[in-house]
Structure 1
């Protein structure tokens, strides 16, 4: 099973991260959701990556040297990373790997455009997204160019920024495998990002849509100010139409280029209100499938919305697992005790065993659900008690009640 060099996206799901990486696994899951359109394609597996690189002994030596380089010594880090990348890009693919990839492309691959996208095993994780750490190549034409860009994706595992990011998260270079996603290229009218929760406030009821013209690379790279829509349910709470002066478009001979947007279109919204509502509804369907708020990359074509990535929003503080339904108002036990750092497992269990009220855990902290007391006729007594220990918390609770 692990020695298959190519898997169709429709064959994979969240159980196959070790073989197709985080992006490939999430795209496979996406393609299984009813009503969610994902461009067709396949994954070049981590087995193909391993099979190719195990034939290059000098590469193992380079990775060993990299492990001994201090992350703060950027000059040495840059030099070793560059050497490793050049070695990988210059290494020919084994015949069996190349045949598996060209076979998956089919006989009519010449002239067909593909997106070739890195998919590392340490990527799109619930605690670390690794967004932008490995490379993606758009509008790649023909089988030979696809093979070359597969090697470039493998090499991007050793960019300086990717290595530093892994060090920050305690992940060793040798433990990360790299798969590559190859998909039919989408040439969209508009593209952007949908957050199914507010990544700043943590509000799970509010979705945010960022939109721009053409391919999403201009928006993701920060070269344009996108349109921003804030949505709750079917209500658009706020909209800001950006001055979208540039757009990224595919070039007929392969690759992309940045073009100027006509002045009259720069202040036109990239999406109509109806399209924004449709997109958010699809995003909620994706969120329900994965069971947590998602950071979603989307494209709009004449056929409607297509989705090219979905990963967890890693900046959200987790919610306590509460079996009771309805609304909840959580009070932080640690903040009342001036203990704001995460607690160890033993400390959590001792507090939970000794507490007079049920305490729920999230992010290494303990919380008490105040909703039942706030809903009771005697809530004034509860508010007085809270106010004596922490007037700011009382003010916050009264604000919640007023809403």
Structure 2
């Protein structure tokens, strides 16, 4: 395959991360969006980086040593990464590669000023943030200087910070390559960062603009506090203008310097409200192109905005997809079940197929949309009471959302006929035999399922399971079942309240229900104690299980004293109750 060392930004798109790195791929994508101005430039591809690395035979040995270092051994990482950077910078760029870079420069103007920017293949990705870990050089002038700074960008793949980040995240140093973006320098009146979602609250409808005078390095480095504009629905809804005492400006002969801002200008806004709104409109166009909220670096030049970088905002928790632009309030299913970790796909698929209400997935977790129930005052009260009984903190969170003016619109309680929506609940029969009958019906349904499932294999088994899920929901949605379940929950809540009032004991009814028959959760817990009773007298088994790492530990148990009995007890438990 012919190696390609240079690509014009206009010829790059988002599919070419492996060739031009994350920054280069995003800039190429940006340059294709109608109405978005991106400074012209080109990418020195990862083919060039691999060519340079091949020129240094000692690199392999040093990368091996680097991969074996503890991420906390900062001194060793600092020393070895500095050796690698020095080695890369000292490699002479081969003639044909240097010629390809200088040819691209001559097409743009080889006496102009440029920004020379690192673009690693593991940078600006949706799943990880490598921002600031490699180097960028501004206002670089002349082919010789640009070639030297391209080498420095290659070497910056091995800054101490970048190496440590990869070590901590289990990323093999050899799998990450460095491209370099060379762009025409812009000399802005103001610059800064646009977040198309509020990075503090996560609100996707509020964009935040950070702005300062001069080059953006003053903000990125923390040299000054920015002006902050919050924009929603085409208007500035909040702003704070900072006293900007310093800025970073380009020098005529190359490079940059900090300069003091004259006192009368320090408190002036870097942008007008109209400019902030116009910038956010451009940001929304960029967000739509990439399909997710963006962290965008911008420059204001002669009242026109130029975009010099855009990356995904990786700190936002994902939200369920909705087919409208309305506000939604979601309650986490997993947190209600004390399962805060992400579920595996089979797990949340099972929940979605068997749940009585729609459940939506985001971030490996399931959520129920409670917006409509909160919007109606009648259903709102019931929801808040039920949530508060299960977890007072969730109720408090929902009330906090309701306190936000207009976030959840109110819907009328009454139906067109004046009767409360949904009608009055049907009266419940108080005969306890009804509960016995419901249990017997469920047991018969489970027995039929266990009998019939043994006859199914392959695709037929999946069809059978889908039918079984529908039967499960039909049984549970029987009004009599719901009434019995609610009666039990209401009785527990009433007992908890009264026993605390009478005896001063909290959650006494929850303790009492542990001994009720047919409580599968309690049975599982008691059965697990029986398993523990088998294991506890066997010290070798206890020690082994405390250090288990892997899924084949049951096979290993039989080799230990008392291990066969322990294995049999565990397997019997799993056969009865599954892996929950």
Aligned to 2:363: 363
1:267 aligns with 2:233: no
Aligned to 1:72: 72
**Structure ranking higher in strand proportion:** 1
Q: Is the 8 A contact 1:109 1:142 kept in 2?
A: no
Shift of 1:303: 5.2
Distance in 2 between the 1:163 and 1:207 partners? 33
**Runs ≥4 residues deviating over 6 A:** none
Shift of 1:79: 0.8
1:189 aligns with 2:183: no
Q: Is the 8 A contact 1:109 1:143 kept in 2?
A: no
- My pick for the range that moved more, 46-55 or 149-158, is 46-55
- Specify the SS of the correspondent of 1:237: strand
Aligned to 1:292: 292
- My pick for the range that moved more, 190-199 or 347-356, is 347-356
Aligned to 1:86: 86
TM-score (structure 2 length as normaliser): 0.67
- My pick for the range that moved more, 312-321 or 100-109, is 100-109
Distance in 2 between the 1:189 and 1:285 partners? 23
Aligned to 1:311: 311
- Specify the SS of the correspondent of 1:161: helix
Q: Is the 8 A contact 2:8 2:42 kept in 1?
A: yes
Aligned to 2:148: 148
Q: How does 1:1-20 map to 2 (within 5 A)?
A: 3-20=3-20
Q: Is the 8 A contact 2:9 2:41 kept in 1?
A: yes
Shift of 1:383: 3.8
Distance in 2 between the 1:208 and 1:122 partners? 26
Aligned to 2:279: 279
Q: Is the 8 A contact 1:373 1:382 kept in 2?
A: yes
- Specify the SS of the correspondent of 1:386: helix
Distance in 1 between the 2:108 and 2:172 partners? 40
Distance in 1 between the 2:273 and 2:76 partners? 51
- Computing the radius of gyration from Cα coordinates, the structure with the larger value is 2
The number of residue pairs the alignment matches comes to 403
Render the CA deviation track for 1:337-366: whole Å, top value 9, x for unaligned. 222222233332332233222221111211
User: Gaps spanning 5+ residues in structure 1: where?
Assistant: none
TM-score (structure 1 length as normaliser): 0.95
TM-align CA RMSD? 1.8
Q: Is the 8 A contact 1:193 1:297 kept in 2?
A: yes
Shift of 1:187: 0.5
Distance in 2 between the 1:175 and 1:59 partners? 14
Distance in 2 between the 1:197 and 1:323 partners? 18
Distance change >3 Å, CA 213–CA 347, structure 1 → 2: same
Q: Is the 8 A contact 1:124 1:312 kept in 2?
A: yes
Aligned to 1:23: 23
Distance in 2 between the 1:325 and 1:269 partners? 31
Shift of 1:68: 1.6
1:55 aligns with 2:55: yes
**Structure ranking higher in helix proportion:** 2
Aligned to 1:38: 38
Render the CA deviation track for 1:89-109: whole Å, top value 9, x for unaligned. 010111111111001001674
- Specify the SS of the correspondent of 1:334: helix
Q: Is the 8 A contact 2:67 2:167 kept in 1?
A: no
Aligned to 1:165: 165
Distance in 1 between the 2:398 and 2:64 partners? 55
Distance in 2 between the 1:56 and 1:395 partners? 61
User: Gaps spanning 5+ residues in structure 2: where?
Assistant: 406-580
- Specify the SS of the correspondent of 2:26: helix
